[in-house]
Homo-oligomer: A and B are copies of this chain.
Amino acid sequence: MSKSETAERIVHVPLGERAYDILIGPGLIAKAGGEISTRIKGRRAAIVTDANVGALYLDGLMDSLQTDGIEAVSVTLPAGEKTKSFESLTEVCDVLLEARIERNDAVIALGGGVIGDLTGFAAGIVRRGVRFVQIPTSLLSQVDSSVGGKTGINTRHGKNLVGVFNQPDLVIADTDILNTLSEREFRAGYAEVAKYGLIDKPDFFEWLERNWQDVFAGGPARIEAIAQSCQAKADVVVADERENGRRALLNLGHTFGHALEAVTEYDSSRLVHGEGVSIGMVLAHRFSARLNLASPDLADRVERHLKAVGLPTRMSEIPGELAPTDALMAAIAQDKKVKGGKLTFILTRDLGQSFVADDVPVSEVHRFLEEMRVV
């Protein structure tokens, strides 16, 4: 008890009337009822989870809510990206209305990014907005999708093309849950952790270079890394909640990464999001060197670290045949961060000195990718 309490960290996200806390620490699911009931007036809740996560943690969460006098229902959806659909959204809204969730009641997302994005969207539109609590259960969702308020679903035109900005009222990141993640899934989340260092926190990146093994092992270093990541993302989001400027920095590695995900058809046996981001970040640093913005040594250093933790860093590591460069370029052009037909990239000048570059010539990118795909 005393151990968990001393280990717990709180990151406050100061977004005015949408301000909220991120609680980070071991064993937090068992305390969720207490944390929710002190922050949210309503005495009803609806939990949305997926089959994998629900099997492990739903009962514990229900117990905790009941202990603190919150009456809860739950809905369990299939695990996987396909759940981010209009069909699932309709289903979740129906469950929330059936359970008579009102404005001051809590909708709780218990799961990774898919469940968080879908549930946050539903909570943002049922009765034009009810309370929303996130309990992210993957490293990726703890350090990325649970901060920032982006919610949404996919359509046949692309990912996350329909959604709302909906800040949660509370995020509970139980770090014990991460012990049940596969190595690969943990590593993929770690790519986003490293990203925060590369965006604008060189000290954090250096700390990760020294301490990554402790982060993987669990314990205080892991909690520290998650707290630093949430704080880093929160700082960017607070500066630019609606993504008009600075928030674009969070896409470091993502333009290349999303394109790789698209051409591998989001087939997780070939590539998961964090792996695409890892390769994408190395590409962004190499491309910065190519444009004489940064040193090639910096790209080597970034690659060395990501490789050390076991992440892929090159396109040639992706299993199966990689789609032609033209297909990659088409995927980049379809990315929603294209404005008026011009390519926007996040590039860097030095470690932790990234910036938004508009007007990157398409031909340069094409030549660069053509070269990099074979190394």
Question: Would A165 and B128 count as touching, CB distance under 8 A?
Answer: yes
Docked CA distance A64–B93 (Å)? 39
Given the interface contacts A86-B86, A98-B157, A157-B98, does A128 sit within 8 Å of B93 by beta carbon?
no
Q: A127 contacts the other chain (Cβ, under 8 Å)? A: yes
Contacts of A94 in B (CB 8 A): 155-157
Contacts of A161 in B (CB 8 A): 97, 126-127
Binary interface encoding of chain A residues 114-151 relative to chain B, with 1 for a CB under 8 A from any of its CBs, else 0 = 00000001001111110000000000000000000010
Question: Would B93 and A125 count as touching, CB distance under 8 A?
Answer: no
Contacts of A155 in B (CB 8 A): 93-94, 97
Residues 304 to 350 of chain A near chain B (Cβ within 8 Å): 336, 339
Given the interface contacts A86-B86, A86-B90, A90-B86, does A128 sit within 8 Å of B97 by beta carbon?
no
Residues 52 to 97 of chain A near chain B (Cβ within 8 Å): 86, 89-90, 93-94, 97
A41's closest neighbor in chain B, by CB? B340
A–B Cβ pairs within 8 angstroms, 5 of them: A94-B156, A97-B157, A97-B161, A124-B164, A125-B125
Would you give the shortest CB distance from A189 to chain B, in whole angstroms?
24
Contacts of A150 in B (CB 8 A): 128
Q: Give the number of copies in the complex.
A: 2
Q: A293 contacts the other chain (Cβ, under 8 Å)? A: no
Contacts of A129 in B (CB 8 A): 164-165
Question: Would A128 and B163 count as touching, CB distance under 8 A?
Answer: yes
Given the interface contacts A94-B155, A98-B157, A155-B97, does A125 sit within 8 Å of B86 by beta carbon?
no
Would you give the shortest CB distance from A148 to chain B, in whole angstroms?
11
- State how many residues of chain A have any CB contact under 8 Å with chain B: 28
Docked CA distance A233–B94 (Å)? 31
Q: A274 contacts the other chain (Cβ, under 8 Å)? A: no
Question: Would B125 and A164 count as touching, CB distance under 8 A?
Answer: yes
Docked CA distance A94–B94 (Å)? 21
Our pick among B90, B97, B128 for the contact of A164 (Cβ within 8 Å) is B128
A126's closest neighbor in chain B, by CB? B162
Contacts of A86 in B (CB 8 A): 86, 89-90, 93
Residues 172 to 203 of chain A near chain B (Cβ within 8 Å): none
Given the interface contacts A150-B128, A152-B128, A155-B94, does A164 sit within 8 Å of B164 by beta carbon?
yes
Docked CA distance A336–B98 (Å)? 13
Contacts of A156 in B (CB 8 A): 94
3 nearest interchain CB pairs? A97-B157, A86-B90, A125-B162
Docked CA distance A124–B90 (Å)? 17
